Structure 1
């Protein structure tokens, strides 16, 4: 069950995890993109940290405030996608006090759909969408007694493993075509690091 207090308590851990992963994500992104993924997310985390003292006490408010913070961090397209994902979550949580597993899964399904429409990626393109979809499916199938964070972590890692030996099909990485086979998608790794940080 996710409520505002649980989410607020998780944010400092999320920020710390993003800071710790920044160098790794820059290196991964440098093989397939602009080498700025880690730097962008690091800035997002810093801006979220600055907002922590005045964080609202509702799920909608927290997601919206985090989206506003992330929007200030210019950089990679992933930063924009993170902002859109957070804003989509805020809208979904309007008037909602807590989210059980089915509700979390439904929220993720909406995030995947929105990000696909915004960024142009489809499931199977070897992007963060595939990791999010894996978490959505796992949460939808898990009992309420299961630890949602554990379920999400296992799902994100399984998706990363499943797509490692497939080619990237969108973004700058697609220009490398079959050379991306055997390589980890930086966005999927970023998702896993963020989930594990929780």
Structure 2
């Protein structure tokens, strides 16, 4: 068993079907530290990616490019841009391949994280989605079971979100709130938790 375009399609549709309450929650959370549009970005982005799934080719890299293009088409937000950047980076790594072993997912996430750092200018420790990815990568490295990988990723994301809650945001609009951001979940980190939870059957 390996990760294929069909897995990508299924994941996108599953999240799209469950994104409504998540979107409302993320809008409220983001409104305390930013523009309050994170939920809108997620809802519109996954709806658009879902509509693009039927046209996704079996080439996994190209399928990820399709997903990135669909996200970019509906979102001008920083989170949407970073998601598209991550999908593009992962796609470049597997272009021409129809499947990727689950044990290689950590490597794809690493390439996505590297691209997001280069694009967004944030660094590890700034209390952003990058810290969630770092925790997930460390936890799922060498994991070859999709179910265990998802469970470990969700657990790592929750731990990262909680461990940074009492730290200040150091970049983006949330940065202007400085110490007021202490005690609040970072919206992007919270979103990663909810999206991973939504992937459970």
How do 1:6-85 and structure 2 match up within 5 A? Answer: 6-85=7-86
Matches within 5 A, 1:146-157: 147-157=148-158
Match of 1:189 in 2: 190
Q: Secondary structure at 2:32's aligned position in 1? A: helix
Show structure 1 runs of 5+ residues with no match.
none
Cα deviation for residue 42 of structure 1 reads 1.1
- CA shift, 1:124, in A, is 0.5
How many angstroms does 1:164 deviate by?
A: 0.8
Partners of 1:118 and 1:174 in 2: CA distance: 18
TM-score by length of 2: 0.92
Q: Is the 8 A contact 2:9 2:50 kept in 1?
A: no
Q: How many residues align?
A: 197
TM-score (structure 1 length as normaliser): 0.93
Give the direction of change, closer, same or farther, for the CA distance of 1:111–1:163 in structure 2 (3 Å limit): same
Please give the secondary structure, in 1, of the residue aligned with 2:141.
helix
For residue 129 of structure 1, what is the aligned residue in structure 2? 130
Alignment partners' CA distance in 2, 1:82 and 1:18: 16
Local SS of the residue matching 1:32? coil
Q: Deviations over 1:114-170 (max 9, x none)?
A: 10111010001000001111111111154x246211111111111111111111000
Q: Secondary structure at the match of 2:162?
A: helix
Q: Give me the whole-angstrom Cα distance separating, in 1, the residues matched to 2:106 and 2:72.
A: 24
Shift of 1:7: 2.0
Mapped partners of 2:18, 2:117: distance in 1: 25
Question: Which structure's relative contact order is higher, taking Cα pairs within 8 Å and 6+ residues apart?
Answer: 1
Q: Distance in 2 between matches of 1:141 and 1:155?
A: 15
